[in-house]
Amino acid sequence: MSWMDIFFPSERRKEEEIARLSGKLSVLVDNCFLTTNKIIDCIQQYLPRRKYDELELDSSKSIRDSCNLIIQRLDELDRYLEETKLNIEKEMNPEVFRKLVSPGTSYLEKLKIAKSCSTHIMDITGSVEGIVLCGVINSGNIFTNITRALHVVKNSAIGNISLQNLSVGLCKTTSVIQEPLNDYDLAVAGVVLYGAIFAVHVCARVTNILADPQSHAVTTSFVGVVAVGLYVYASSIVKRTTEKGRLETFFNDFQRVVQELQPAIDELYDNISVLRARIELTV
């Protein structure tokens, strides 16, 4: 532990919080893949006419690429559900179809409607349960929140980080900041700058008074050294200020991403679990 950690601990704590959030986000992305595969399994069980491969998590890919893969699959499933509902609607009596998709119709009523459907309608879904599924899913709504959360994740500043790097902690993999900048640093910088300016001014005055070529050469060399030192120190300040800004950005993004993704995954998992349970209970 350095003395910076003792007197200025806030930035170090922020680094530790980012490390904690990076591990949590890694778990959330993994859970998102698992939940999406549960949805694929559920839909294929009741609507077996179209097959979808399960998604595989590739830790070498970036967070953005992983989110895009999930979003793409959810869009495919959503289009399939919507397409199936439209095909059923074309073949079913309009009044009966409105009753099938109405939220006010009980599951038992939806099941009665499904069982009374013609063989042609049954061929569209591949099962009675599939008709019930189309009757209870309001296509699009079940994926809205998770898709929105995934867009937030992939468009954030952390989208380019690979999942394997995320799992070992963001601070180590992005070189966010090693020695945080604080008010003390700025104060020291100010003192050094003012001191250097004063020293250069005094040297210039002495050179003019002495008007000695040798003294002028010595002073010129001194001024050059001071100028180089100021440049190096100023560059360090700019770099550390930039790193602090990057740390702030990553920290804020991590908090926002985790807050968005966690409830969206929970909601999606609950929806699909309840949906499956109710269909199986009804049938």
pLDDT in tens, 136-157: 886 556 788 899 999 988 998 7
Q: Does pLDDT of 211 surpass 70?
A: no
Do 163 and 63 contact (CB within 8 A), yes or no? yes
Distance of alpha carbon 77 from alpha carbon 79, whole angstroms? 5
Which has the higher per-residue pLDDT, 211 or 133?
133
* CB-neighbour burial class of residue 218 (10 A; exposed 0-12, middle 13-18, buried 19+): middle
Beta strands (DSSP E) in the chain are none
Residues 201 and 211: their CA atoms lie apart, in Å, by 15
Confidence of residue 171 (pLDDT cuts 50, 70, 90): very low
Residue pLDDT, tens place only, 233-257: 555 555 555 555 566 776 787 788 8
How far apart, in whole angstroms, are the C-alpha atoms of residue 154 and residue 177? 23
Q: pLDDT category, 172, cuts 50, 70, 90?
A: very low
Tokens of 267: 């909601």
The pLDDT of residue 181: 42
Query: Mean pLDDT over residues 67-72, rounded?
Result: 95
Residue type, 264: A
Q: What is the pLDDT of residue 97?
A: 93
Q: What is the value of pTM for the model shown? A: 0.70
CB 77 within 8 A of CB 143: yes
- In the chain, the N- to C-terminal Cα span, in Å, equals 63
CA distance 263 to 275: 18
The CA-based dihedral angle spanning residues 87, 92, 98, 99, taken in that order and rounded to the nearest 10 degrees: -120
